[in-house]
Structure 1
């Protein structure tokens, strides 16, 4: 019998299958036995590429980090630091919105994941190049991560039931329209993210003016 033209299994195939499983059913659904069944292979064959389930989940998390656009931090990109942070944050949130079930793994930090480390390196480097002191550049990277991850961990609008009777005006006089939030979830959540992001960047811009003034005074 002729050998198959392509290998039956690869890291990429395993990661793609695991990501689809996480997206559809959550982290708890992933097991080497389940993945092997999904891929039509024997369980032990997975161990040629990954030793443990945790390694597979780490690779899935990194594949999501790799979806985040970093082009705004290229040296030949004309965007200033604030615009770059805004556009990067929007891209990051979009990636997490597509794959919300992997967020708990991503929230643990980049660890040794290559795409995650490239992401952290790009943000830190861009802030330092823009004139932020290294300590503040680190804080900005952490702050942005907290904000973006937090926005992806759950939906504010989706947390309200669409039953008008649940919001008795005698008990909740200001929630008369709350039953409409669930059906407008995407719009409400995106608007909330954008409002928070702009407020965050406004605050950083004020700090940046202080940094610039300090540099000018020390010149």
Structure 2
């Protein structure tokens, strides 16, 4: 059988190539024409699989976010559920930082994203959080995770000691930060997550006390 002149396309192959392109060149580097060149096909060939670039990006976002674990909420332990969710969420985003603006966008109508949001919200409410607080906790966790995934504090400093010497005496070791960036970023995220959860513990206890007092007053 003769080999086809046009390479065979698959949805998974298109997604893989598009993600590699975004990882390398950023979101602005992705276009259907550019992707077709990477795959050595005509741009029209892509449209039989994806009508728009936005549809393609949504599919890629779903694939990346499939790694996010919300199963911990089923146990009824909201702190454990949040911890597992936040860590896996950050890991999924940090693996593809150029795609964070797409992945971190609201769930819209994406089925997988809505299932995760439902699991998080339902798990928090089932554990005793009021619905309003559950919504705010979900939002706050997202703010923490997305911020951690998009930027590296340590890598934001120059590794030339002369930049800081004399003029910035309190930053005399700043040139060493980039060398230890991964460790600093991981430990900083864990510190922020721990402080966040400890604060929620106190809020949860206070809510329980207020509810108990209200019930006693009614009785």
Q: 1:206 aligns with which of 182, 190, 202?
A: 202
1:134 aligns with 2:140: no
2:108 match:
111
Structure 1 runs of 4+ aligned residues shifted over 4 Å read none
2:189 match:
193
Supply the distance in 2 between the matched residues of 1:17 and 1:101 (Cα, whole angstroms): 14
* Structure 1 residues 126-163: Cα deviation after superposition (integer angstroms, max 9, x where no partner): 10111101111011000100110111111100000100
1:124 aligns with 2:121: yes
8 Å Cα contact 2:70/2:84 also seen in 1: no
1:179 match:
175
TM-aligned CA deviation for residue 94 of structure 1: 0.8
For 1:162, what is the secondary structure of its paired residue? coil
1:154 aligns with 2:151: yes
For 2:170, what is the secondary structure of its paired residue? coil
2:8 match:
8
* Structure 1 residues 70-119: Cα deviation after superposition (integer angstroms, max 9, x where no partner): 2212x3x4x72112211210111111111111011123312222222222
8 Å Cα contact 1:63/1:115 also seen in 2: no
1:84 aligns with 2:81: yes
Supply the distance in 1 between the matched residues of 2:106 and 2:162 (Cα, whole angstroms): 42
When the two structures are superposed, what TM-score results if normalisation uses the length of structure 2?
0.90
Supply the distance in 2 between the matched residues of 1:92 and 1:193 (Cα, whole angstroms): 12
8 Å Cα contact 2:93/2:103 also seen in 1: no
Supply the distance in 1 between the matched residues of 2:212 and 2:12 (Cα, whole angstroms): 51
Give unmatched runs, 5+ long, in structure 2. none
8 Å Cα contact 1:68/1:92 also seen in 2: yes
1:50 match:
50
8 Å Cα contact 1:65/1:119 also seen in 2: no
Supply the distance in 1 between the matched residues of 2:67 and 2:159 (Cα, whole angstroms): 33
When the two structures are superposed, what TM-score results if normalisation uses the length of structure 1?
0.90
TM-aligned CA deviation for residue 214 of structure 1: 3.0
Supply the distance in 2 between the matched residues of 1:186 and 1:36 (Cα, whole angstroms): 35
Question: Which sits farther off after the overlay, 153-162 or 34-43?
Answer: 34-43
The answer to which structure has the higher helix fraction is 2
Give unmatched runs, 5+ long, in structure 1. none
Supply the distance in 2 between the matched residues of 1:112 and 1:166 (Cα, whole angstroms): 48
Supply the distance in 2 between the matched residues of 1:88 and 1:180 (Cα, whole angstroms): 31
